[in-house]
Structure 1
Amino acid sequence: MTDALTNPRRSPRALPEGEALSAEDHRRLIGVLESVDHAVDLPEFRERLLHALQNWFGFTGVAVLHGNTLAAAMLEGCGVQSGYTPEFMAEYNARWMDRDPLRSPRAAEIILARGVARLDDIEPDSPFVSEFLRPTGINDKAVMVVDGGSAGLLFVGMAVVDAARVSDRDLAVLHALRRHLAPLVIEQLERDRDRRAAHANWQLTPREWEVADLAAQGLTNRQIAERLFIGVDTVKKHLTRVLAETSCASRTQLAVRFAAA
């Protein structure tokens, strides 16, 4: 009887010395990728990514934003956030938004160049950190950006509360996650761009698109307000404009229109 295999005692490749990521880290990477892999559109993708980062990595406060540029994504706030209290967001919007170091041109250059960064490396001693974040329980923030070229980009911000700063190991994990997420993000951004282009006759602003997307998913006005960092009255105003522009008489009809988009 001859042997079936040319080398039946082949050994697995040894891991490199100083391997940055553990088996647990890789399992979490796979967990996130499996969570978002079958999302049918960008709104579902960003929701799945947000909850996967909370569930698999333990980040409580997470924001997933997107836009044509990093500045557009962060300044217009297109996307969703979860884990922050209404009081925290009200204080941020009222007093600290314009003083957020992550919204500065310098921070944008660093984030775009590195792909993954931490607030502690950008401006650790700013009043935003010492007077606002740390007193509310947030010690540092990790940020990640995936560039989708002409389709725009995706920005993810994650609050860190259980350590003085984002660890080097967490940065290594996020760098690996960013590489694996890139093709999925690009596909979703391109699909969303094409979906909106197919309804170019709907003259909606980026914010109105966000409100329409969430309303079509069945979220209440208050839930939409919490996700988009805006007031309930602002949601009502946007939704009234959306229904008029799309010629829909109700949220149910809007959901049908969006499902067919």
Structure 2
Amino acid sequence: MPDAIIRSPRGPRPLPDGEPMSAADYRRLVGVLESVDTAADLPEFRERLLLALQSWFGYAGVAVLHGDTLAAAIEEGCGILGGYAPAFLAEYAARWRDLDPFRTERAYQRLLAEGVVTLEELDPSGDYAERFLRPHGITDKAGMVVDGGPAGVIYVGIAIRDTARVPARDLAVLRVLRRHLAPLAIDRLTRHRERLAARADWRLTPREWDVAALAAQGLTNQQIAARLFVGVDTVKKHLTRVLAETGSATRTELAARWHRQRRPQ
């Protein structure tokens, strides 16, 4: 009986010469995508992305921020951080925030043009790294932007501690990853904008929206602080403003008002 499959003399297509990514790198790429592709909304998407980058790449610190523009995403800090010590973040906010090479117009232009940029490319003198990062054990950083066009932007910042620089193979994977993340990010960003539009009469800041969403899910102040990587006092301040703006006397009332609003399809 003849074979059902016509045999081809050719085997699998080989990787091109100089391919910067190994089979293991492609597995990491797929692992991250599998972690985020079923996220129900933007908060879950960014949390899964953060955890996947820590798990599959072993990054010491990760930030996943979002906004209407790249500058808004980075400067307003709406999103989550993981792996950073509170004391480090406090020193950053008090002394180094305005000196961060990633918080400059030049950095925004390069990120939007190139997609992935390293600290060395933005700070060739190494002054910021030598004076602030390395004393805290961080040896290098990189930024990645996922541009969702009219839907908004997601910015991912990573910090490493075990090698002198972000490995070239990691950068290659991140450049491919951002392209595959784009349609997923656009979908979640669009749904997020629709959700905010459904509550257009609530005049909240991006961070207050985060606190409201988590409080409506039943999280305690301590849990919200851990999720957003901020202090409990900061959560209390934001929640007070949220309750006042939404006309809610209690968290239970806030949750009821939140869930009565139209959910995007």
TM normalised by structure 1 equals 0.93
Going from structure 1 to structure 2, the CA distance change for 1:48 and 1:58 (only over 3 Å counts) comes to same
Going from structure 1 to structure 2, the CA distance change for 1:56 and 1:217 (only over 3 Å counts) comes to farther
Consecutive unaligned residues of structure 2, counting only runs of 5 or more, are none
Q: Deviations over 1:70-101 (max 9, x none)?
A: 11111110000010001101111111111111
Going from structure 1 to structure 2, the CA distance change for 1:235 and 1:59 (only over 3 Å counts) comes to same
Task: Name the counterpart of 2:174.
Answer: 174
Distance in 2, matches of 1:28 and 1:9, equals: 31
Shift of 1:111: 1.1
**1:86/1:226 contact within 8 Å kept:** no
Q: What letter is aligned with 2:101?
A: P
Task: Name the counterpart of 2:12.
Answer: 12
Distance in 1, matches of 2:218 and 2:139, equals: 34
Distance in 1, matches of 2:35 and 2:218, equals: 21
**2:120/2:126 contact within 8 Å kept:** no
Going from structure 1 to structure 2, the CA distance change for 1:123 and 1:187 (only over 3 Å counts) comes to same
1:132 aligns with 2:132: yes
SS of the aligned residue for 1:145 comes to strand
Q: Deviations over 1:150-190 (max 9, x none)?
A: 11100000001111111211110100111111110111111
1:184 aligns with 2:184: yes
Distance in 1, matches of 2:181 and 2:201, equals: 32
Aligned residues: 261
Q: What letter is aligned with 1:141?
A: K
Distance in 1, matches of 2:229 and 2:4, equals: 63
**1:21/1:172 contact within 8 Å kept:** yes
Distance in 1, matches of 2:13 and 2:137, equals: 43
Task: Name the counterpart of 1:216.
Answer: 216
Distance in 2, matches of 1:159 and 1:208, equals: 26
Shift of 1:232: 3.0
SS of the aligned residue for 1:103 comes to coil
Task: Name the counterpart of 1:23.
Answer: 23
Distance in 2, matches of 1:235 and 1:52, equals: 26
Shift of 1:208: 1.1
Q: What letter is aligned with 1:79?
A: G
Shift of 1:252: 4.0
Distance in 1, matches of 2:90 and 2:76, equals: 16
Shift of 1:222: 4.0
Q: Deviations over 1:181-239 (max 9, x none)?
A: 11101111111011111111212122211221233344433443455464433321211
**2:140/2:164 contact within 8 Å kept:** yes
Going from structure 1 to structure 2, the CA distance change for 1:10 and 1:102 (only over 3 Å counts) comes to same
Segment drifting more, 210-219 vs 150-159: 210-219
1:112 aligns with 2:143: no
SS of the aligned residue for 1:102 comes to coil
Distance in 2, matches of 1:144 and 1:173, equals: 11
Taking only aligned residues, the RMSD between alpha carbons, in angstroms, comes to 1.9
Task: Name the counterpart of 1:248.
Answer: 248
**2:79/2:228 contact within 8 Å kept:** yes
**1:151/1:193 contact within 8 Å kept:** yes
Shift of 1:2: 3.3
TM normalised by structure 2 equals 0.91
Shift of 1:245: 2.5
Task: Name the counterpart of 1:152.
Answer: 152
Distance in 2, matches of 1:140 and 1:223, equals: 30
SS of the aligned residue for 2:65 comes to strand
Task: Name the counterpart of 2:198.
Answer: 198
Shift of 1:11: 1.9
Distance in 2, matches of 1:179 and 1:155, equals: 13
> What's the % identity of the aligned pairs?
65
Distance in 2, matches of 1:256 and 1:76, equals: 28
Distance in 1, matches of 2:170 and 2:121, equals: 14
Shift of 1:15: 1.7
